[in-house]
């Protein structure tokens, strides 16, 4: 395991993987609002990725409202951003489409998917 408790996977864009793992760590409560977030240097070294890639990840998380920078302090975890009204539906539908296609192609039942979703849901802290 590496930083953010995940392993890099082949086939998926590296920046997206690290962003997703970072957000997952924040939602799980591994990083609290106001707490320092790992630096570009720490992420690059911990994941053995190029510092420019780590920088792009942090910049994206700042732009999306997951992190904030404070002069003289550094990069901190922000309060979880709220999705604009209506945007969350599209984001969720896109992910649900992928989930349903993957489940159907592996001949899983709705009960199987709901069971896994329920178990995964409980892993994350309540907001």
Instruction: Name the residue ranges covered by the structural domains of the chain.
Output: 14-77, 87-121
Give the pLDDT band (50/70/90) at residue 108. Answer: very high
Calculate the CA 122 to chain-centre distance. 16
**Burial class of residue 58 (count of CB atoms within 10 Å of its CB; 0-12, 13-18, 19+):** buried
**Burial class of residue 22 (count of CB atoms within 10 Å of its CB; 0-12, 13-18, 19+):** buried
Instruction: Assign 75 to helix, strand or coil.
Output: strand
Q: Which pTM value belongs to this model?
A: 0.70
What's the pLDDT tens digit per position in 57-107? Answer: 999 999 999 999 999 999 999 998 876 666 677 767 878 888 999 999 999
Instruction: Assign 87 to helix, strand or coil.
Output: helix
Size of the chain in residues? 127
pLDDT at 2 over 90: no
Fold of 14-77: Arc Repressor Mutant, subunit A (1.10.10)
């Amino acid at each position: 395991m590496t930083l953010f408790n995940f392993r890099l996977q082949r086939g998926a864009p590296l920046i997206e993987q690290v962003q997703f793992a970072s957000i997952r760590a924040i939602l799980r409560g591994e990083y609290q609002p106001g707490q320092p977030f790992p630096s570009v240097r720490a992420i690059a070294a911990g994941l053995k990725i190029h510092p420019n890639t780590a920088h792009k990840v942090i910049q994206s998380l700042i732009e999306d409202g997951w992190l904030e920078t404070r002069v003289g302090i550094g990069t901190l975890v922000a309060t979880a951003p709220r999705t604009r009204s209506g945007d969350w539906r599209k984001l969720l539908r896109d992910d649900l489409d992928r989930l349903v296609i993957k489940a159907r192609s592996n001949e899983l039942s709705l009960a199987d998917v709901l069971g896994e979703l329920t178990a995964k849901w409980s892993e994350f802290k309540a907001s």
